[in-house]
Chains A and B, each alone.
Chain A
């Protein structure tokens, strides 16, 4: 891979020798499809009511310009060229899907409304309802971050104590096994009764859902650390504190990370369900509310934001892992 890339690079950049015809076709594909989408959007008459048709057109133009700039950069920089060459096919596919979608909905009215709105209609929601969406996103984020961090912290502490002290393991293990597998969301009726507000109740639920996988994975990670690491460290003068924090914890991190990842997945679920059932804010709440008015285009808009938000959060977690686990080979990339 690396090698072919370099060979191509030396063939492409110096002396202004041209890239292969296949590469040119691939690179042009997204631009062609964007132009086609734009033509489709501007030339065919709308068969469904939308407000922001013009803005959607601007968006397509903006994308086209951005793509042109990227292609220009690829002329100058070999790195940009390689990125462009590898990303162009998938970009083309996404553009194609959006184009076909618009054709089937807005232009042909082939899918039933209000359940399957056009992308233009979703853009309507994103633009006209942006304040509300922004507030809801921030509410969701606050709940998620607070609950997740609390849960991850207590999960780490529980896992470390269980992995290190037999006694602690003995007393906590039955509860962990018995209570842990209950989905956090199943506690909603009870928790709403006990906690003073739906906000604190949701923080608790998200923390609970995160706590379980993080505890289990931290525990098994630490319990599984090779004994010889501890022996070596002890002959080097390490005390218990060092053994736990500087030997056991980093050695267990690959498994701890899996726990953190699983916990994050659960916390997304818990967050959305909690917002749909109790909390009067957030993206989950927004979705139920929009559904109540049969405004499905708003539902899709919220889903889109969720996708971006959650995916970003997961990316951050993977970034953290890449930094911590820099010593491991062959990590999967997110």
Chain B
């Protein structure tokens, strides 16, 4: 497969996003600063409603910031582009397409499918869906559907892959499985990953850096660099250390409604 690193660099500079029409304004993001290095794996973690999805949508170009700027490799982000792939928690596969066609969507939309049909086969192989190429989405399990969604985003060889709680709806086993596959793909391709999650273990297991966000007005509270060798052990001593550090950081957040982090 592709061995050269294809990751892009993301610069988020003073980005704010406010929702609402005059009366009740919601400040979803307030002056967020973040630089993501090419090929880096960064997780965003924070209480519900703190603006993680909003930030991801801004990077994807599906939404525009109220203030500030976002750049990919120095170029301002002005709208969606296939160099920035997005995977939601809900796989959102197109129900009228087979798995193969779903995965091929990006190439088809860009008009390059004819020359690159082989890429579709390869990526389907990579995520282990060979036997389900001709199935329709409703015939897949949740885990398989999420693999297909991943493959669909990867077929374009994005420089940055944005993942919004992509494993959030899966059971623990499928989840760990897919975490490992995600790491494998990341290491193989060198794609820059921005990964939103609610799961501290997942964040520590996957990331180079974990970005912890505060509730409204959402800004970055702390960035934890996870300095553990890969492959990581989920029950190692170092692992627990990082885990409790992030827990602490989250519990210090001055709002009370985060019972989900008390393990």
Contact = CB atoms under 8 A, between A and B. Distances in A.
To the question of whether A and B form a pair in one complex, the answer is yes
Interface of A: 226, 228-229, 231-239, 242, 246-247, 250-251, 253, 325-329
B80 A235 contact: yes
A236 B96 contact: no
Contacts of A231: 60, 62, 80, 86
Given A327-B136, A329-B138, A236 B105 contact: yes
Contacts of A229: 92, 94
A327 B95 contact: yes
Given A226-B92, A232-B152, A235-B85, 9 more contacts: A229-B92, A231-B62, A231-B80, A232-B92, A235-B61, A235-B81, A236-B105, A237-B109, A329-B138
Interface string B171-202: 00000000000000000000000000000000
A239 B109 CA distance: 7
A151 B261 CA distance: 59
Nearest to A328: B95
Given A228-B92, A247-B94, A250-B96, A233 B105 contact: yes
B84 A235 contact: yes
A236 B88 contact: no
B109 A327 contact: no
B156 interface: yes
Contacts of A329: 138
Nearest to B112: A237
Interface of B: 60-62, 79-82, 84-86, 88, 90, 92, 94-98, 105-106, 108-110, 136-138, 152-153, 156
Given A228-B90, A231-B62, A327-B138, A237 B96 contact: no
B92 A236 contact: no
A86 B97 CA distance: 34
A253 B95 CA distance: 12
A326 B135 CA distance: 11
Contacts of B153: 235-236
Contacts of A228: 88, 90, 92
Nearest to B98: A327
Contacts of B62: 231, 234-235
Q: Which of A239, A253, A326, A327 has the most CB of B within 10 A?
A: A327
Q: Which of A226, A232, A329 has the most CB of B within 10 A?
A: A232
26 contacts: A226-B92, A228-B90, A229-B92, A229-B94, A232-B92, A232-B152, A233-B109, A234-B79, A235-B60, A235-B61, A235-B62, A235-B80, A235-B81, A235-B85, A236-B105, A236-B153, A237-B81, A237-B110, A242-B109, A246-B108, A251-B94, A251-B96, A327-B95, A327-B97, A327-B98, A327-B138
Given A228-B88, A231-B62, A253-B96, A238 B136 contact: no
A250 B110 CA distance: 18
B142 to A, nearest CB: 16
B140 to A, nearest CB: 12
Contacts of A250: 94, 96-97
A47 to B, nearest CB: 60
A172 to B, nearest CB: 27
A326 B101 CA distance: 14
Contact of A237 (B60, B90, B94, B106): B106
A325 B96 CA distance: 7
Contact of A236 (B82, B90, B136, B138): B82
Nearest to B60: A235
Contact of B109 (A226, A236, A325): A236
A221 to B, nearest CB: 13
Contacts of A251: 94, 96
A241 B84 CA distance: 20
Contacts of A246: 108-109
Contacts of A238: 105, 109
B88 A237 contact: no
A251 B60 CA distance: 23
A310 B89 CA distance: 47
Nearest to B83: A237
Contacts of A328: 95
Q: Which of B82, B105, B136, B138 has the most CB of A within 10 A?
A: B105
